[in-house]
Amino acid sequence: MLKNIIALIIAVAVGAIGYSYWTKKDAEESPINVMVTQMRTRAIIEHERQVTVWYKACPEVKGVNPQVMVIWPAKLNYELDLADVKLSLGADGVLHVTTPPIRADDPSVPSEVGEYMAQTSFWTLDSEQAIVMREMQKATPLARHLTAYFLRNDVGLSDQFKEELETYLRGMTGALGLHVTRIDIEIPEVEVKIPPRPELTLCEGSVALANGFSFARRQEDGTVIGIYPKKTRAAPTAPVTAPTTAAPTR
């Protein structure tokens, strides 16, 4: 009987110590849990990139080939999903943050503000309207191509997402009274699959431009090839509008 009482006392003591330990641990981790919950509520960080595409096309038509000046704007859209972000706070006060990769969203191409100016001759047998319409139909697939093109080649895009996320996290850590010496954000790089570029019939010796940076060029033999710069810190960046956020959709 006495042995059973002693065993019961020991079990209660061990349970109390264990409960105290796990309660203390949960209390220490609770600010991180609050941050994770808040980030999942916010759901997404979004960026829009404004680009202007310009090129001169010389399409093959019946009769004399025309020249078509093509200029149109587009918004290239990117997202960083916060639902799967992982946080850990080191003993040195460094908050380590790991996010999913940046993903591309569908671009926006307002066709009503584009400029398509065709120069035809009497011997151009296709109508000017038909020639312009064929070039207009290339705008959206070309914008999708450029969305992935900049995602692969523009390191500044990742830096801007990191800056926005760090600002957001510092606001939360300050509100929670959490001492953080530095925020280390890792956005993984993945191989970006670039959708095929629609066929561009560029004029001889010309290039296709997006915000002044060449992304396609016509060769001497008439073929059109893509231009892919090396990914360095000096890689071209397109102007950025103020980032916005969106609630999760169900």
Please tell me whether residue 243 adopts helix, strand or coil conformation.
Answer: coil
pLDDT at 35: 78
Cβ neighbors of 49 (< 8 A, separation 6 or more) are 75, 76, 77, 78, 150, 157, 238, 239, 240, 241
pLDDT at 42: 67
Question: Any idea where the domains of the chain sit in the sequence?
Answer: 44-246
pLDDT at 102: 96
pLDDT at 154: 85
pLDDT at 235: 46
Q: How many CB atoms lie within 10 A of CB 75?
A: 17
pLDDT at 13: 42
pTM: 0.73
Our CA dihedral for 133, 135, 141, 144, rounded to 10 degrees, sits at: -120
pLDDT at 105: 94
Give the closest residue to 212 by CA, choosing from 73, 51, 48.
51
Residues 36 and 85: beta-carbon distance below 8 Å: yes
CA pair distance 114, 106, nearest whole angstrom: 18
Per-position pLDDT tens, the chain of length 250: 444 334 333 433 444 444 344 344 444 457 777 777 777 776 788 999 999 999 999 888 777 778 888 999 999 999 999 888 898 888 899 999 999 999 999 999 987 767 777 666 555 656 777 788 888 899 999 999 999 999 998 878 999 999 999 998 898 888 888 889 999 999 998 889 999 999 999 999 999 999 989 999 999 998 999 998 765 544 444 444 444 444 444 3
pLDDT at 113: 64
